[in-house]
Structure 1
């Protein structure tokens, strides 16, 4: 499988050597503050990376949990998946190491995921949700061309509490490609 490459980042399937890099951010309470998971134990991170690393063997694959790579190192986890194959709807998500926040890497990674989702997965609509307090993620989605569709009340049960989510989406015809070259994974 080949994935698009950005000016600074690439995305690829995870490998087991990524476990320690992923655990650095997956175990960080500040990184996972707005997530529905974490902070992870080493066992949870290992399970995630090993499962993601094996996913490429599935010929019916409709979900891609990938490493966001900068200078050969995994600095984040990004994902795009099909939620409704009949209607060609998908979702995406992303998490980055705190040391790399504020540098545009998440926005670049979302561009790569959109390119892959609309072209390789043939999606027509890609959605994303985030916590209403997650200002960084809101900025990434808005910069990436997503439209706020509304607030999903009591949408998630996270660490024993109900919480709202903001729902964003982008349609194929709204997306402008900025990615030039595919790379082999």
Structure 2
């Protein structure tokens, strides 16, 4: 479990299925997502089963957390996919319920996950990407201290169209430099 002033990031449980399915089924949260809206709850159930199964792998390759607000309400998901151990890198992603947008929750959750990446997992580099049109995610990643490294053309398959992707990253020295000056 990871905590911030306003949030708790907890590993997923089977009981999270309905909330995850609702989150993935919202057109607003799917706007820039490559997964698409699940056809039925069975699709979400299989996804959750995969995420839960990843917890048993050694070495572990994925972490997926439910994000809860101070009142213990489910407000979204945040995850980390680890790269090859020798490279000490990972990629983060997040998805928040539309009712929790514009409150700083995504930035707060990303900052906490980055702290986990660099402090607990001893990663060297953490990456993230977002559709170039996703100005909200651009703001989140930049507020969290990530640096825009480039733009990949037509990388993301979103609702039948290929969309360009911004590519962000933060290195351990960037992170600890930020942490020492705040």
Alignment pair present for 1:168 and 2:168: yes
Distance 2:55 2:6 in 1: 24
Kindly state the Cα deviation for residue 177 of structure 1 after the two structures are TM-superposed: 4.3
Structure 1 match to 2:35: 37
Question: Which of the pair is proportionally richer in strand?
Answer: 1
Instruction: Summarize the alignment of residues 45-60 of structure 1 with structure 2, pairs less than 5 Å apart.
Output: 45-60=44-59
Task: Please say if 1:27 is aligned against 2:15.
Answer: no
Cα distance in 1 for partners of 2:23, 2:162 equals: 24
Q: Aligned residue for 1:91? A: 91
User: Residues 110-138 of structure 1: CA distance to partner in whole angstroms, max 9, x if unpaired?
Assistant: 01110111122211111100000101100
Per the alignment, residue 100 of structure 1 pairs with 100
The alignment covers a number of residue pairs equal to: 176
Following the alignment from structure 1 to structure 2, what is the Cα–Cα distance between the partners of residues 133 and 158? 12
Aligned: 1:8 with 2:21: no
Give the whole-Å Cα distance in 2 for the aligned partners of 1:174 and 1:73: 32
Matches within 5 A, 1:79-158: 79-158=79-158
Structure 1 alignment gaps of length 5 or more: 179-185
**Equivalent pair of 1:79/1:93 in contact (CA under 8 Å):** yes
**8 Å contact kept, 1:14–1:66:** yes
For the 8 Å contact 2:76–2:95, the answer to whether it is kept is yes
| TM-score normalised by length of structure 1 | 0.88
Q: Which moved more, 1:115-124 or 1:41-50?
A: 41-50
Q: Name the structure with the higher helix share.
A: 2
Using structure 2 for the length normalisation, give the TM-score.
Answer: 0.89
Query: 3-state SS of the aligned residue for 2:83?
Result: strand
